[in-house]
Amino acid sequence: MPTTPLTDEPEAWPVASSTDLHRDDWVVALRSDRIQRPGHLEEEPFRRLVLEHPGAVVILAVDDRERVLCMRQYRHAVERRLVELPAGLCDVDGEDPLEVARRELLEEAELEAGEWTHLTSTYSSPGLSNELMHFYLARDLRPADRGDFVPEHEEADMETFWVPYADLVTAVLDGRIGDAPVVVAVLLAQARGLAGSTTSGG
């Protein structure tokens, strides 16, 4: 029996037509594609919606006391104020995601990190969007001046706070935190032994 490779592989199915449903000067757009199975072009094309997204970074910032910098931010789509991590869009063409992460940590948290570890990159919702999220662990934190950056909209109402890493793991496992990037970053760092412990801190 042939062995199926345990890895994602690039593949593109024929697109019979593509129509923009929404596109403006923002970085995210929505289009409707009619696609076909390769080798079955006699079949009727079927529709798939695609949310074009430039990608994003998520930063798990852990200090020397094994505390994680968290944020509480309102998200209109789910009508909830979520516990999140510093994050942002990769909205500058060609910019290295690590540089995006450095900028977002500075702008959102007024912090710089002397040590960066790439945890993983994952597609957030591949059935609908091409968004690729890059996860980083940031350590050796120090205060920094974010310059003339001024938070706006939801960010202007955002609360920042520090949480013991073990408490954050417990909150994730208990289902009290529903933001997928937090879940991915926290559990992956724990599984790789890069942050925290299993003992709750104060």
Catalytic annotation, residues: 155
What is the separation of C-alpha 18 from the centre of its chain, rounded to a whole number of angstroms?
Answer: 27
Computed on alpha carbons and rounded to an integer, the radius of gyration of the chain in Å comes to 20
Structure tokens at 64: 């020397």
Q: For residues 89 and 116, what is the distance between their CA atoms, to the nearest angstrom?
A: 18
For residues 19 and 35, the answer to whether their CB atoms sit within 8 Å is no
Torsion-angle region of 178 (φ positive above 0: left; ψ -120 to 50: alpha; else: beta): alpha
Count Cβ atoms within 10 A of the Cβ of residue 198 and give its class: 0-12 exposed, 13-18 middle, 19 or more buried.
Answer: exposed
Query: What pairs with residue 85 in β-bridges?
Result: none
Helices (H) and strands (E) in the chain, counts: 3, 10
Count Cβ atoms within 10 A of the Cβ of residue 70 and give its class: 0-12 exposed, 13-18 middle, 19 or more buried.
Answer: buried
